[in-house]
């Protein structure tokens, strides 16, 4: 009888893991990692570089699933509707959790429908001008814009994009006026900047860097609070007097709302491990991405502040787009 009682006793009383606990050790199957853009390009490279190393740290496969379309809306809906068990994650970025919800009515809530896991990193935008324009520095450009009200235009990757809102933030903070010319993507916008159809734009550093180095466009300043190591000679807009001009293209990881805290911790700890690896830093530097390791609470605060920044700007500039 005593032997039978002992065998039926709770495993916790015996100091052993329960069967259910052993069976649910996380992760015990492949993790799906949604990248909200088509395969190829900078964002996809960031996700694949992370997943390759994350899988080794977690001891489980992390499979990239590219779901483009709708500026990240389809991928975000897919993620938000998934089980909050840690087996579906998404690479959230400034569009899905910043500029789009600030300017459009979306079928998801950027804050309430997701669990923040951690930040990967960010890349600044660069104030670039056509090389035929006289100004050689940011101070001279500000004077030139004010001397030519309404005569200058700027291109963007599309209405409501980061390139659009960053330029509008610039106009607001400098009390200047330029005409917005939206394009279908960054490539045609940069092409027209070369040709002089537009005079200024704020492309991401990764997209602009080859053209800056070749001399096809002139970079006058970068966004962010400090100079970027890839272009150390280019000052920040904050140095030019535009305090708090911290518009950046950032990448992070989110999951569906209400993920268990222990699972979030496992994922974040593994992420921080990856972000500390020198070869990962080197890999992302090719896309001009500077790593920004954060705990989940820090990342949540960052996303909330970024969304508030763009929402405030959208209201101030009356930018409200159709969904």
**Of residues 146, 95, 84, 162, the one with CA closest to residue 117:** 84
Q: Do both 98 and 175 map to the same domain?
A: no
**Of residues 238, 240, 239, the one with CA closest to residue 145:** 240
Chain centroid to CA 305: 13
When pLDDT is cut at 50, 70 and 90, the band that residue 13 belongs to is very low
pLDDT digits (tens, 9 = 90+) for 181-202: 999 999 999 999 999 999 999 9
Q: Do both 43 and 106 map to the same domain?
A: yes
When pLDDT is cut at 50, 70 and 90, the band that residue 15 belongs to is very low
**For position 313, what pLDDT does the model report?**
96
What's the domain count of the chain?
2
Residue range of the domain that includes 60: 30-123+249-316
Lowest mean pLDDT among 19-23, 25-29, 193-197: 19-23
Q: Do both 256 and 220 map to the same domain?
A: no
- CATH number, residue 218: 3.40.190.10
Locate 134 and state its tokens: 């006289």
Give yes or no for residue 64 having a pLDDT over 50: yes
pLDDT digits (tens, 9 = 90+) for 210-248: 999 999 999 999 999 899 999 999 999 999 889 888 899
Q: Do both 109 and 143 map to the same domain?
A: no
Q: Do both 143 and 117 map to the same domain?
A: no
According to DSSP, the β-strands at 114-124 and 248-256 are: antiparallel
Q: Do both 137 and 226 map to the same domain?
A: yes
- C-alpha–C-alpha distance, residues 61 and 79, integer Å: 18
Q: Do both 173 and 205 map to the same domain?
A: yes
Contact 124, 203 (CB under 8 A): no
Question: Is 116 a member of any domain?
Answer: yes
Last residue of a domain, one of 204, 231, 258: 231
Contact 122, 205 (CB under 8 A): no
What ranges make up the beta strands (E) of 45-87? Answer: 62-66
DSSP string, 241-278: T-TT---EEEEEEEEETT--HHHHHHHHHHHHHHHT-H
Residue 112 has a CB neighbour count (10 Å cut-off) of: 9
Last residue of a domain, one of 169, 197, 231: 231
Q: Do both 203 and 115 map to the same domain?
A: no
When pLDDT is cut at 50, 70 and 90, the band that residue 45 belongs to is very high
Number of H helices and number of E strands within the chain? 13, 11
**For position 52, what pLDDT does the model report?**
98
pLDDT digits (tens, 9 = 90+) for 79-116: 999 999 999 999 999 999 999 999 999 999 999 999 99
């Amino acid at each position: 009888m005593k032997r039978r009682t002992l065998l039926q006793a709770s495993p916790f009383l015996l100091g052993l893991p329960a069967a259910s606990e052993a069976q649910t050790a996380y992760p015990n199957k492949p993790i799906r990692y949604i990248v909200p853009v088509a395969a190829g390009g900078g964002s996809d490279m960031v996700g694949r570089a992370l997943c390759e190393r994350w899988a080794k740290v977690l001891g489980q496969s992390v499979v990239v699933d590219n779901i483009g379309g709708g500026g990240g809306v389809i991928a975000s809906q897919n993620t938000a509707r998934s089980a909050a068990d840690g087996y579906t994650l998404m690479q959230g970025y400034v569009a899905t959790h910043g500029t789009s919800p600030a300017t459009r009515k979306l079928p998801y809530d950027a804050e309430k429908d997701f669990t923040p896991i951690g930040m990967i990193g960010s890349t600044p935008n660069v104030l670039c001008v056509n090389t035929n324009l006289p100004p050689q520095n940011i101070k001279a450009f500000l004077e030139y814009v004010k001397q030519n009200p309404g005569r200058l235009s700027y291109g963007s990757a599309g209405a409501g994009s980061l390139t659009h809102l960053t330029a509008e933030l610039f106009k607001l903070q400098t009390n200047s006026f330029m005409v917005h010319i939206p394009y279908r993507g960054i490539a045609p916008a940069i092409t027209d900047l070369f040709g002089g159809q537009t005079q200024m734009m704020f492309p991401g550093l990764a997209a602009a860097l080859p053209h800056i180095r070749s001399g096809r466009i002139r970079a006058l300043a970068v966004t962010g609070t400090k100079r970027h190591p890839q272009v150390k000679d280019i000052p920040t807009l904050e140095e030019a007097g535009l305090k708090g001009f911290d518009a950046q293209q950032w990448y992070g990881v989110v999951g569906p709302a209400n993920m268990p805290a222990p699972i979030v911790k496992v994922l974040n700890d593994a992420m921080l491990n990856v972000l500390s690896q020198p070869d990962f830093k080197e890999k992302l530097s090719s896309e001009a991405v500077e790593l920004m390791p954060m705990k989940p609470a820090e990342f949540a605060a960052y996303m909330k502040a970024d969304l508030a920044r763009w929402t405030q700007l959208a209201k101030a500039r009356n930018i409200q787009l159709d969904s």
